[in-house]
Structure 1
Amino acid sequence: MSRPILLAAVLLAATPAVAGAAGPRAASATVCGDQYLLALADPGQIAALSPQAGDRWLSLLADEAAGHPRLRPAAESYVAAGVEVVLADAWSDHKTMALLERFGIRVVRIPLVESFGEVETTTRMVAEALGHPGRGEALNAATRARLAVLRAQAAGAGREALYLRPGGGSAAAGTFVDAVMQANGLANRATADGRRGWTGYDLEQFVMAPPDLLLTSFFDSPDRSLRRAFGAHPAFTARAAATPSVEVPGRTWICSGWILVEAAEALAQGLRRLPALHE
C-alpha cells in the first residue's frame, strides 16, 4: 500500500461518535508530532506544524506538510493561533508545555518507545486527543498488516547486520532499530557483541572486525558537524566500501512513531537488492 493511499484510507476511517466532526484545533511542536498530525487530523484542524515539517531530510511527510502554517514552539504563538491541542515530544521544553497547560491547552507528550506494540499505544493516544480514535485504529491495523507481510517474507533471514550512524552510534536489542531489523528477520551484530540498547562503536573496532552487512542512516544528511567524524574518516569509508550495505532513509525513523513501518519496508527493499547468500 503506497503512503498516499494509506493516509487516505486512515482519514476516511472514523467511529460513529466522531464522524463528520473536525476535532480540536491542533498544532505540532516537533517533527515527530508532524507525522502524527498529518496522518490523523483533518486538514482544517491543523493550526500549525513545526518549523522543520517541510524538511525532506527529517520529515517523511514533507510533501503533505506543504500549505500548512509553521510556528516556532512558543506558548504565545499557540495561544494566539487558538490552538486546543499541542503534540510534543516527551522531552520537549517542559517550561513551555507547562505554561500551555496553564492556559487550558492540552499537551500530548509523544514518548520515545522501542517496540511496535508501544507505537500502537502512542497512536491510539494521539488519535483520541485529535478526536479521531477510529483513524488511530485504522492506522494501527494498516501497520500490522504491512509488518505481517515483511515478517513472512523475512528478507534478512540468515544475515547479521550492524547499524551505524555517521557519529559511530549504533543500536542493539531493546531499541526501535532492532525492532525494525527483527521485522525483516535480521540478526543484530551489536546484540551478538553483548550490547543492549542505544550504543556505539569506535573506529578501530569497526575496522578490525567489520560486520558481514552494514545498515546505515543519516550518512546523506546535509549536516557536516564534528558528530560525523567517525563516518567521514578514511579508514571507515574504505572498510565500508568493501562491506555490503543497506541505507535506510533517516526520515523513516527520525522518531519511534507509526513511520517505523516505512523504515522496515525500506530496509526490506534494500535487502532484496543484495546478492543471494549462496552466490
Structure 2
Amino acid sequence: MMRPARRGGTLLLAIALAWGMVVRVDAAPLPRVASATLCGDQYVLALADPAQIAVLSPQATDPRLSLLAKDAAAYPRRPNAAETYLDAGVDVLITNAWTDHTTARLLERFGVRVVRIPTLNDMEAIAAMTRDIGRALGHPERGDALAARFVARVEALRLAAPGRDRLSLYLRPGGGTAAEGAFVATLMEAAGLRNQATEAGLTGWTSWNLERFIAAPPDLIVTSFFDSPHAGVGRAFGNHPAFTRRAERIDRIEVPGQTWICGSWILEEAAAFLHERLDRLNAAEPRP
C-alpha cells in the first residue's frame, strides 16, 4: 500500500529503499504492482517499470497463453492470494472484474488499490481501459501511447477490410465460437469478414454444431488453440475426422491464441496478424 511521503529528499529515499519502493526523482513514488490474471499480466508487463513488478499470475510464462511470456520469466509467479500480495508490499493489483471478489475486497480493506478489468468487446472501451491502467501504474504517457497504437492498428484493419466480405467462422478445438458481442467477432467484423455465427442468430461466446459445419461450411475458418498439446473431450470437435476432412478444403487462418486471450491491448497483435494473413490469402487468389 502507498506509504506517506516525508519531508527531506535523503529521508524519503532512505524510507523508500527500506520498504522496497520504486522512486522517481521529483515525482511521487511509483506503486508496487501485481497481476492476478493473464490479462492483467499483459498490462503490467507492457506498462510498469521492471522494479515495480512484484508478482504475476501462474500462467504468465505460458507461451501459448501469454503474449509476453518471455518478459514474464523475470518475475515471481504466484497463485491469487491476499497474503501473497500483502507480503510483497503491493500497492496496486490488476485483476479481472469477474473473478475472486473476496480477495479483491480484502486487499481494498488493507489499502491496496484493485483495478478490475471488465469483459470488453468495444475497441474504444479497450483503449480507455488501457489509458486507465497506465494512470493506475503511474505511467499515463505509456498508457496513452499503447492505447493510441492499439486504436491505429485496429483502424488500419478496418480501413483495409481485407476480409472482402467472406463468410467466416471462428472455431476453437472444442467447437467454441464467437458471435456478435465477443471481441473476436468484433475484430473479424473490423477485418471485413462476415460472421457465420452472428448471421445464424447467435451472440457472444457460444458453440457451433459439427453437423451444421459439415452441411454448410463457411468460406474461411479462423481458428485458435488448435496447436495446443492438451488432448481430451475439449478437442472432440477439432479432432473429429468429419471436421478435419471438411476443413482441408476450406481456407483457414490460425490466429495465435495469445494474441486475443482477452479483450485488451493485445488485440492489436491479432489485428495485425489477421491483416497480414488476409492480404496473403487475397494475393494467392486468381484475379477475376
| Same fold by TM-score greater than 0.5 | yes
Q: 2:12 — aligned with what?
A: none
Distance, in Å, in 1 between the alignment partners of 2:276 and 2:232 is: 30
Choose which of 129, 143, 163 in structure 2 pairs with 1:136. Answer: 143
Provide TM-score, normalisation by structure 2. Answer: 0.86
RMSD: 1.8
Q: 1:23 — aligned with what?
A: 30
**TM-superposed deviation, 1:18:** 9.9
**Paired residues, number:** 263
Q: 1:161 to 1:278 in 2, by over 3 A?
A: farther
Q: 2:158 — aligned with what?
A: 151
Q: Does the 8 Å CA contact 1:22/1:44 hold for their aligned counterparts?
A: no
**TM-superposed deviation, 1:277:** 6.2
User: C-alpha deviations, 1:26-72, integer Å up to 9, x for none?
Assistant: 00011100000011111111011111111100000111212112122
SS at match of 1:273: helix
- Higher deviation after alignment, 145-154 or 209-218: 145-154
User: C-alpha deviations, 1:186-217, integer Å up to 9, x for none?
Assistant: 11111222222222111111111111111111
Distance, in Å, in 1 between the alignment partners of 2:99 and 2:199 is: 34
Q: Does the 8 Å CA contact 1:247/1:270 hold for their aligned counterparts?
A: no
Any gaps of 5 or more consecutive residues in structure 1? 1-16
Pick the structure with greater CA Rg.
Answer: 2
Identity score, percent: 57
**TM-superposed deviation, 1:118:** 1.2
Choose which of 200, 216, 227 in structure 1 pairs with 2:223. Answer: 216
Distance, in Å, in 1 between the alignment partners of 2:279 and 2:60 is: 31
Provide TM-score, normalisation by structure 1. Answer: 0.89
Which runs of structure 1 show a deviation greater than 3 angstroms over 4 or more consecutive aligned residues?
Answer: 17-22
Distance, in Å, in 2 between the alignment partners of 1:161 and 1:99 is: 45
**TM-superposed deviation, 1:175:** 1.5
Choose which of 239, 264, 285 in structure 2 pairs with 1:276. Answer: 285
- 2:192 paired with 1:180: no
- Higher deviation after alignment, 266-275 or 248-257: 266-275
- Correspondence list, 1:1-279, <5 A: 23-274=30-281, 275-276=284-285, 278=287
**TM-superposed deviation, 1:249:** 0.5
Distance, in Å, in 2 between the alignment partners of 1:252 and 1:273 is: 19
Distance, in Å, in 1 between the alignment partners of 2:266 and 2:68 is: 10
